[in-house]
């Protein structure tokens, strides 16, 4: 049963497509994970309640900047401001954005520098507006327009720096408990990418970077990073599962935002033996291409790695969930030992991956680097960040989006995982494995 006429629901089609991929992997779990798009009439009845945004425009009138969306039904909007950088956040019930996100840059008008939107967590969508100056929210409401159609209006007026800072700090106080709850709520929707972890199989957590309101790198005319890395994550999960030696878990199984801390928490809670974060960023130097494997370090290996980590660590700010800082880990001798062992294993995996990848696809000139990536901070799960290539490189962008390239490189990663566990031995890994290796003084 289709609830939307063909061509009117691209996201649903995309999700249905992905659901079928998951179904081949996960069997039983797909029923739960994609209940919202099921063909079961009883379940599908929930879908019409999701409003659809079909157009967006920025209108200037006097000193007011208006961001107006055409929306299929009235929604309750909750708007607030955040500082550093100055943003307006508008929270909505789950909404389908059947429009292209505005390209980076070139959309600056009035008080709006840029804006983005997407799924924040289960049943929650968000619009994030980057401001070009301090602004106050005049109103954020949905109401009938002159033609009778419903529109969602966000009206902004200039204000002074002090008033803006005061409004942002009020947000900080009033929103903190809810904000942290929101960030962790996304984890509830996570289901295994390849069935329940089995005791005798190492669990590999695959982390497709970005998602939902955070598109990651996005150049006009090219698919956003969040889509490229998600497709790769699916291909990799399939390959790892097909050998029957590993269980896999994805940190997100749809186009939804997941905070960096939450990604780490998912890996640790599930008892992962390896964590692979997948990215495909852009550089201003469009001639730079090839894959790079990053590990975490207190001091960056080079300026480029430091800059990338800084950019990636902003993901939570991009989605406006930076209000509550993640609690830092406990620091004692045992913790430090575990972390040192974990980092040594991360390094071994990175080296293995680089040596195997080079026979399958292009590598960056300096393919193994390190920096302070938040998403690689699990003290007890060996973690690497694989930059598949650069979407800013014409060559890479063309390759990264082809299934042939994806299958070939996913297979290289799968072989690296094989080699890593062959060296490390089965059952080693996660908190337990790292601790026992610490005890033996090995590494």
Q: Cβ of residue 229: shortest distance to Zn ion, in angstroms?
A: 7
Of 182 and 279, nearer to Zn ion (C-beta) is 279
Q: Cβ of residue 316: shortest distance to Zn ion, in angstroms?
A: 13
The H or E element containing residue 173 is helix 161-185
The region, left, alpha or beta by phi > 0 then psi within -120 to 50, assigned to residue 210 is: left
Label residues 201-236 b or e (16+ Cβ within 10 Å = b).
Answer: bbbbbbbbbbbbbbbbbbeeebbbbbbbbbbbbbbb
Q: Cβ of residue 228: shortest distance to Zn ion, in angstroms?
A: 10
Of 227 and 281, nearer to Zn ion (C-beta) is 281
- Binding to Zn ion (CB under 5 A) within 243-262 occurs at none
Q: Rounded distance, CA 379 to CA 370, Å?
A: 16
Of 41-49, 168-176, 277-285, 351-359, the segment contacting Zn ion by CB under 5 A is 277-285
Of 110 and 216, nearer to Zn ion (C-beta) is 216
On whether the CB atoms of residues 206 and 252 are closer than 8 A, the answer is no
Q: Cβ of residue 312: shortest distance to Zn ion, in angstroms?
A: 5
Q: Rounded distance, CA 149 to CA 205, Å?
A: 45
The H or E element containing residue 176 is helix 161-185
Q: Rounded distance, CA 397 to CA 388, Å?
A: 10
Q: Cβ of residue 210: shortest distance to Zn ion, in angstroms?
A: 6
Q: Cβ of residue 186: shortest distance to Zn ion, in angstroms?
A: 17
- Binding to Zn ion (CB under 5 A) within 185-224 occurs at 209, 216
On whether the CB atoms of residues 363 and 256 are closer than 8 A, the answer is no
Q: Cβ of residue 124: shortest distance to Zn ion, in angstroms?
A: 22
Of 281 and 322, nearer to Zn ion (C-beta) is 281
Using omega within 30 degrees of 0 as the cis cutoff, is the peptide bond preceding 76 cis? Answer: no
On whether the CB atoms of residues 298 and 220 are closer than 8 A, the answer is no
Of 284 and 440, nearer to Zn ion (C-beta) is 284
The residue whose Cβ lies closest to Zn ion is: 279
Of 91 and 207, nearer to Zn ion (C-beta) is 207
Q: Cβ of residue 278: shortest distance to Zn ion, in angstroms?
A: 9
Q: Rounded distance, CA 319 to CA 340, Å?
A: 32
Of 37 and 213, nearer to Zn ion (C-beta) is 213
Of 90 and 280, nearer to Zn ion (C-beta) is 280
Binder of Zn ion out of 218, 279, 339, 374 (CB under 5 A): 279
Q: Cβ of residue 370: shortest distance to Zn ion, in angstroms?
A: 16
Q: Rounded distance, CA 204 to CA 249, Å?
A: 6
Q: Rounded distance, CA 29 to CA 340, Å?
A: 36
Of 34 and 230, nearer to Zn ion (C-beta) is 230
The closest of 255, 324, 282, 330 to 12, measured between CA atoms, is 255
Contacts of 198 (CB under 8 A, 6+ apart): 247
- Chain centroid to CA 158: how far? 32
Two structure tokens written together for 432: 């337990």
How many residues touch Zn ion under the rule CB under 5 A: the total is: 4
Of 81-89, 121-129, 162-170, 278-286, the segment contacting Zn ion by CB under 5 A is 278-286
The H or E element containing residue 87 is strand 87-93
Residues binding Zn ion (CB under 5 A): 209, 216, 279, 281
């Amino acid at each position: 049963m289709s609830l939307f006429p063909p061509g009117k629901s691209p996201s649903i089609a995309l999700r249905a497509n992905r659901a079928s991929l998951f179904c081949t992997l996960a069997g039983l779990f797909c029923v739960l994970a994609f209940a919202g798009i099921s063909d079961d009439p009883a379940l599908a009845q929930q879908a019409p309640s999701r409003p659809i945004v079909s157009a967006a425009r920025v209108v200037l009138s006097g000193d007011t900047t208006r961001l107006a969306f055409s929306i299929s039904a009235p929604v309750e909007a909750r708007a607030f401001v955040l500082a550093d950088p100055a943003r307006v956040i508008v929270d909505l019930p789950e909404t389908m954005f059947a429009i292209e996100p505005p390209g980076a840059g070139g959309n600056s008008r009035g008080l709006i520098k840029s804006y983005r939107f997407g799924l924040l967590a289960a049943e929650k969508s968000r619009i994030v507006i980057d401001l070009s100056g301090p602004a106050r929210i005049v109103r954020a409401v949905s109401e009938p327009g002159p033609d009778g159609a419903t529109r969602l209006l966000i009206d902004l007026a200039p204000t002074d720096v002090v008033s803006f800072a005061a409004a942002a700090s009020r947000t900080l106080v009033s929103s903190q408990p809810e904000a942290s709850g929101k960030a962790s709520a996304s984890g509830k929707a996570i289901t295994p990418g390849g069935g329940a972890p089995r005791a005798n199989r190492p669990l590999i957590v695959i982390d497709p970077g970005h998602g939902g309101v955070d598109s990651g790198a996005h150049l006009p005319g090219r698919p956003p990073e969040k889509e490229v890395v998600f497709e790769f994550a699916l291909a990799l999960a399939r390959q790892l599962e097909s050998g029957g030696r590993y269980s896999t878990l994805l940190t997100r199984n749809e186009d939804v935002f997941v905070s960096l801390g939450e990604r780490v928490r998912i890996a640790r809670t599930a008892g992962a033996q390896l964590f692979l974060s997948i990215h495909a960023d852009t550089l201003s130097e469009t001639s730079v291409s090839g894959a790079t494997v990053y590990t975490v370090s207190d001091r960056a290996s080079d300026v480029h790695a430091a800059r990338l980590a800084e950019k990636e660590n902003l993901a939570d700010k991009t989605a406006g969930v930076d209000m509550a800082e993640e609690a830092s880990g406990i620091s004692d001798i045992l913790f430090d030992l575990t972390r040192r062992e974990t980092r040594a294993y991360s390094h071994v995996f990175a080296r293995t991956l680089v040596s195997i990848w080079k026979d399958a696809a292009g590598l960056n000139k300096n393919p193994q680097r390190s920096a302070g990536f938040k998403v690689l901070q699990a003290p007890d799960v060996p973690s690497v960040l694989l930059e598949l290539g650069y979407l800013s490189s014409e060559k890479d962008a063309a390759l990264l989006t082809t299934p042939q390239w994806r299958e070939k490189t996913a297979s290289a990663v799968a072989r690296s995982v094989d080699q890593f566990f062959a060296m490390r031995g089965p059952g080693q890994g996660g908190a337990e494995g790292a601790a026992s290796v610490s005890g033996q003084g090995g590494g």
